[in-house]
Chains A and B, each alone.
Chain A
């Protein structure tokens, strides 16, 4: 038996140093149609989840914001409007394809001057200590290999009093909803992936990775253990998605 450390990639166990590469392959494959698929997968509701996240961030003019796994730049665009010309938004993503799509979209929408881009790994954020007033990671944490390491890295680059927001798929509170959601995720979602991006495997991974992600309470405990205070979470759409929040002491 191999003594190499393993981690999950969806329902599959793989060597820990292979996960980033496998996740990258998934997002290289879906980057071009990521937004379209998000709209189809969530019925457009992901826009309301993200908008609520922006509201809860309480970001103001002049703030510095880090949007990790920012993908196609939905959050960064709104953050850029909130922080104004005096502020700064860093759109970071480990995946070059997603970052390119995000950068093009932001430039097309006129979000320039107060937005910069960084290809960065959430576990090893390449920023000085105490840099950001707010960090947001939307639908990205479940793809990170070592979530504890990533949380510690986020804590380090946040300013004291700064706020972390984690928007992520979670565990529905209602068993009936969970059953319906399972059927949708494992039957319909890969089919839609096949039809739209001709890539059912990537969307099967997305569904599986959601199931392997820690539930609401577990993630809150992980945030506490990483050193965040005033941690809390807000379920949305019956717990299909949860917004976790924490503050750097």
Chain B
């Protein structure tokens, strides 16, 4: 059994981080009213731990123990749950997650996560002052945009090199042709199989 002290400490830290993030995103915080009074259970298989999300007082409280009614229960691995909550995928197909209870709560939560727009610059300003925060945020934004552009460029160059120059991997178009060939071969085999079955079914057919 996991240590209740450690779990409580982790959940307290997460709850505080969430509260801080929501403080810098008043829009999302106001939207939390839609979920007021709901309790969502995340029943995590890896690591084996239950986490209850209680939506109350325009915030989210996290606990490891709850004995009241539940709005919905999500079951799956921790990684799959985080992926699902952060994605805009509304179907659970292929997510590795199952849900019981009111699925609308999950959809509302995903919508809120998708709208999350934390004012990091304001958070920085509270810590280090308005002018330094603006200078730092501008610099970080430029660096981020530059890094993103370089990252995309590097990815494209690497993809082209691997596919075209070194021929180490198949290019996207070659792979598509290969998949088409397989599909055509499968269809031809199906037709051949059907033809053989038809011939064998003829009255004049004799087995030797």
Q: Which residues of A contact B (CB under 8 A)?
A: 45, 47-49, 51-52, 55-56, 58, 60, 234, 236-237, 243
Contact = CB atoms under 8 A, between A and B. Distances in A.
For chain B, which range describes its interface: under 10, 10 to 19, 20 to 34, or 35 or more residues?
10 to 19
B5 A55 contact: no
B74 to A, nearest CB: 20
B167 to A, nearest CB: 58
A237 B65 contact: no
A51 B68 contact: no
The 4 closest A-B pairs by CB, nearest first: A58-B67, A55-B65, A48-B8, A52-B8
B144 interface: no
B12 A60 contact: no
Interface of B: 3-5, 8-9, 12, 63-68
Is chain A's interface secondary structure helix, strand, loop, or mixed overall? helix
Nearest to A81: B57
17 contacts: A45-B5, A45-B9, A49-B5, A49-B8, A52-B4, A52-B5, A52-B8, A52-B65, A55-B63, A55-B64, A55-B65, A55-B66, A58-B65, A234-B4, A236-B3, A236-B5, A243-B4
Contact of A51 (B3, B12, B66, B67): B12
Contact of A48 (B12, B65, B67): B12
Nearest to B63: A55
A219 B48 CA distance: 30
A49 B8 CA distance: 8
A55 B4 CA distance: 11
Contacts of A47: 12
Nearest to A47: B12
B176 to A, nearest CB: 54
Contacts of B63: 55
A58 B12 contact: no
Contacts of B8: 48-49, 51-52, 55
Contacts of A58: 65-68
A114 to B, nearest CB: 15
A45 B12 CA distance: 11
A29 B123 CA distance: 41
A165 to B, nearest CB: 12
Contacts of B5: 45, 48-49, 52, 236-237
Given A52-B4, A55-B63, A60 B68 contact: yes
B68 A236 contact: no
A47 B16 CA distance: 14
Contact of B9 (A48, A56, A234, A243): A48
A226 to B, nearest CB: 24
Contacts of A48: 5, 8-9, 12
Which of B8, B64, B65 has the most A CB atoms < 10 Å from its CB? B8
Contacts of A60: 68
Nearest to A44: B9
A182 to B, nearest CB: 20
A60 B39 CA distance: 13
B193 to A, nearest CB: 63
B42 to A, nearest CB: 15
Contacts of B65: 52, 55-56, 58
Nearest to B68: A60
